[in-house]
Amino acid sequence: MATSGVAVGGAHDEILAAVRADRTDEVVSYLQKGMDPNTSDAAGTTLLMTAAANANAPLVAALLRLHANPLKINKYGESALALAALNGHLEVVRLLVEGGATFSAPGWGALHYAVFNGHVDVVRYLIDQGGDVNVRAPNRHTPLMLAARNGHGEIVRILLSAGANPSMGDLEGNTALEIAQRAGNREIADLLRTMTPAGH
């Protein structure tokens, strides 16, 4: 496995600390002196991922300009886009998509992350940008299943309007309707019942 860009000490530790503390000018100074913009910590979390998770839009923009790779994934399967979506940072999500981030990362995708925490504006944006509303996570959960489980009624409606399939099942065969019922989300279950063909 290549180790280029992995933080091992000295300046690497300093730039990682600067990103975590949102010291944008300091980070840019390191990069302009030749530091690898794809520097990461031991978990593979890059400068861009950390800046995205922290909603530091100016730093995200600077890192992208300096050729940070928005497609990298850490050992937890997280991309910068997924972390921005999880935390509801629409401006950062836009910057990353415009900078080349895609929705095709393996594992839990940006749309799953945005749905999980109920970030309506991010969900709408990702769908508008071509996000697959029926994309499956490793446990075969779709965004609709997550919205149904977590009680995000508005997102359930958005996903259904965008073509989400309520008949799809997870690894155990549970549909979004069954997941909503088990979670006690009756209003969402009632909505899904009207959208799910009999026998599913």
> CATH number for the domain including 147?
1.25.40.20
Q: Is the pLDDT of residue 5 over 50?
A: no
What is the total count of domains within the chain? 2
Q: Can you give the pLDDT at residue 3?
A: 35
pLDDT of residue 58: 96
Q: Within a domain: residue 99?
A: yes
Q: Given this model, what pLDDT does residue 12 score?
A: 85
Q: Is the pLDDT of residue 163 over 90?
A: yes
DSSP for 26-71 reads HHHHHHHTT--TT-B-TT--BHHHHHHHTT-HHHHHHHHHTT--TT
At 54-108, the pLDDT tens digits run: 999 999 999 999 999 999 999 998 999 999 999 999 999 999 999 999 886 667 8
Same domain, 99 and 152: no
Assess whether 97 and 3 both reside in one domain: yes
Report the SS3 class of residue 99.
coil
The answer to whether position 42 is within a domain reads yes
**Tens-digit pLDDT profile for residues 110-138:** 999 999 999 999 999 999 999 999 999 98
State whether 84 and 155 are in the same domain.
no
Q: What is the CA radius of gyration of the chain?
A: 19
- Same-domain pairing of 155 and 92: no
Domain membership of residue 110 (yes or no) is no
Residue 180 lies in domain? 132-200
- Any idea which residue has 């990103």 for tokens? 19
Q: What is the pTM of this model?
A: 0.88
